[in-house]
Amino acid sequence: MRISDNEVKKILSGAHAALVEEIVQIGQESDREADEKLAQQVTQDVLAMSDREDMIADLKSRIEAGTYNPTGDDIADTMIRRSIADRIR
C-alpha cells in the first residue's frame, strides 16, 4: 500500500490530530483496564498457591542425607510435564 504525498501532508498538518489523540487515549484507557485486571488475577493466583515449604524441607533433608536419588527417567518425565504445563497455561 502506498501513501500519497497529500495524505502525508494532511497528517503532518494536524488535520487528523484530534482523531489520532482520541484513538491514543482510548488505547491507553483499555490498556490500563487490562493491566489492572491482569494484576488482580496474578495477585489472586499467587495468594491461592499452596505453600511448598514442607515439600522443599523434605527434599532438602533427603538431599543432605543422601537418600534422594532420582533416576534419569524421573528427571526427564518431570521436565516434559513442566514443559507441557507451561504451554497449556
Residue range 45-70, pLDDT digits in tens: 878 877 788 888 999 999 999 999 99
Q: What would the grid cell of residue 50 be?
A: 499452596
Rounded to whole angstroms, the Cα distance separating 5 from 13 reads 12
Strands (E), the chain: none
Pair (5, 36) in one structural domain: yes
More confident residue, 27 or 80: 80
* Segments forming the whole domain that contains residue 76: 52-89
Mean pLDDT of the chain: 80
**For residue 26, what are the contacts with CB-CB under 8 A and spacing of at least 6?**
none
Pair (35, 63) in one structural domain: no
Rounded to whole angstroms, the Cα distance separating 58 from 64 reads 10
pLDDT at 72 over 90: yes
Rounded to whole angstroms, the Cα distance separating 8 from 16 reads 11
CA angle, residues 27, 30, 32, in degrees to nearest 5: 110
Across residues 32-53, what is the average pLDDT?
81
Pair (20, 58) in one structural domain: no
More confident residue, 79 or 19: 79
